Amino acid sequence: MPLVNTKEMFRKAYEGGYAIGAFNVNNMEIVQGIVDACKELNSPVILQVSGSARKYAHHAYLYKMVEAAVEETGLPIALHLDHGASFELCKDCIDGGFTSVMIDGSHLSYEENVAVTKKVVEYAHAHQPYVTVEGELGQLAGIEDEVSVESDKANYTDPDQVQDFVTRTGVDSLAIAIGTSHGAFKFKPGQKPQLRFDILQEVMDRLPGFPIVLHGASSVMPDYVATVNRFGGKMADAIGIPEDMLRQAASMAVCKINVDSDLRLALTAGIRKHLAEKPEDFDPRKYLGDGRDNITAVVKHKIESVLGSANKA
Ligand code: G3H
Ligand code: 13P
Ligand code: ZN
């Protein structure tokens, strides 16, 4: 099976009340850690690449690694551009074999966001085979691709805009802001995590059957935070989205749940622990191997306990 776009994945996920995990990839251990879990649980998956990941690892390396993952697993895998900042970046990724792209115009004015998103959609949909496009309305707090959005500048998605945006742009899915944020510090210490399910419900009412995307959806898993801190890290105040809220979102219109920070934490925890316990080791395969095993464990946990995508490949 070749790389797939997200169309069929999302159709089935919406109907089945589950979500597809969209995991950020930057190197081989991360790709392998994720797809080993998906293979074991027979789950479809989206592997996504940010602009800065593409700068770090280079397009061809990432593309070939994901192609190898498809060949090794036989699973439905989409290769997606995360937070595409311009038409040109989206075009480069489409021309270079990505099967799905996000154009993130959420920091622009509404009309500018519509214009650039429509331009990407026209290019992506004319491509053979059809490339799916994710747009975004509303702005999440946190750090993404070197752009930092202060929490007071973040704003929830306005449900009154979604129908107009989707109709005028032709996007295949829509990322919305309901209180999640990027990074490992999503809520202040003592603050009660909350998501605006009322906004999600209003969006669903206006866009029946349409796939919604949740960014900034790491749970910042406490066990890995504890391990990182035990071995010299400084993540004491890290706090993420409670898993029951993600399950609720997945049972509603949310068909794609984005996770990066949990993978970073798991990898870092594995490496820190290994090097602290075996300081004599200097073989990267040993400590990176432990990081990779942690990633597999995290992704298995997400598939079984949060996404509900096991046996949906
Ligand atoms: O939403 C952003 C992702 O976590 C990617 O982060 O731009 O540092 O690769 P990055
Ligand atoms: P987290 O930082 O919560 O993992 O979010 C990742 C994300 O939204 C990637 O686009
Ligand atoms: Zn994101």
pLDDT higher than threshold 90 for residue 122: yes
Q: How much is the average pLDDT of 40-65?
A: 98
From 97-111, 160-174, 179-193, the region with the lowest mean pLDDT: 179-193
Nearest ligand 2 atom, CA 214: 8
Q: How much is the average pLDDT of 171-191?
A: 95
Nearest CA owner, ligand 1 atom 4: 260
Q: How much is the average pLDDT of 234-245?
A: 96
Distance from the CA of 69 to the center of ligand 2, in angstroms?
22
Is ligand 2 within 6 A of the CB of residue 258? yes
Q: How much is the average pLDDT of 24-31?
A: 98
Ligand nearest to the CA of 180: 2
Which residues form ligand 1's pocket by a CB distance below 6 Å?
A: 24, 50, 52-53, 82-83, 144-145, 182, 260
Tell me the DSSP string of the chain: -----SHHHHHHHHHHT--EEEEE--SHHHHHHHHHHHHHHT--EEEEEEHHHHHHH-HHHHHHHHHHHHHHH---EEEEEEEE-SHHHHHHHHHTT-SEEEE--TTS-HHHHHHHHHHHHHHHHHSSSPPEEEEEESB-BEEETTEEE-TTT-B---HHHHHHHHHHH--SEEEE-SS-BSSSB-S-TTPPP---HHHHHHHHHHSTT--EEE-S-----HHHHHHHHHTT---TT-B---HHHHHHHHHTTEEEEEESHHHHHHHHHHHHHHHHH-TT---HHHHHHHHHHHHHHHHHHHIIIII--TT--
Distance from the CA of 104 to the center of ligand 3, in angstroms?
9
Distance from the CA of 50 to the center of ligand 1, in angstroms?
6
Nearest ligand 1 atom, CA 261: 4
Nearest ligand 1 atom, CA 142: 1
pLDDT higher than threshold 90 for residue 143: no
Q: How much is the average pLDDT of 8-36?
A: 98
Q: How much is the average pLDDT of 146-156?
A: 68
Q: How sure is the predictor about 150, in pLDDT bands with cuts at 50, 70 and 90?
A: low
Is ligand 2 within 6 A of the CB of residue 294? no
Is ligand 2 within 6 A of the CB of residue 84? no
Q: How much is the average pLDDT of 287-305?
A: 98
Nearest CA owner, ligand 2 atom 9: 258
Catalytic residue among 36, 82, 104, 262: 82
Is ligand 2 within 6 A of the CB of residue 186? no
Q: Which residue has the higher pLDDT, 146 or 238?
A: 238
Active site residue 82: yes
| 60-106 per-position pLDDT tens digit | 999 999 999 999 999 999 999 999 999 999 999 999 999 999 999 99
Q: Give pLDDT, residue 141.
A: 74
Q: How much is the average pLDDT of 260-275?
A: 98
Q: Give pLDDT, residue 1.
A: 81
| 244-257 per-position pLDDT tens digit | 999 999 999 999 99
Q: Give pLDDT, residue 145.
A: 56
Distance from the CA of 262 to the center of ligand 2, in angstroms?
9
Q: Give pLDDT, residue 148.
A: 61
Nearest CA owner, ligand 2 atom 3: 216
Distance from the CA of 279 to the center of ligand 2, in angstroms?
32
pLDDT higher than threshold 70 for residue 298: yes
Percentage, residues of the chain above pLDDT 70: 96
Q: Give pLDDT, residue 152.
A: 62
Most informative mutation of 30, 144, 148, 256 for ligand 2 (most atoms within 8 A of CB)? 144
pLDDT higher than threshold 60 for residue 223: yes
pLDDT higher than threshold 80 for residue 266: yes
Q: Give pLDDT, residue 147.
A: 56
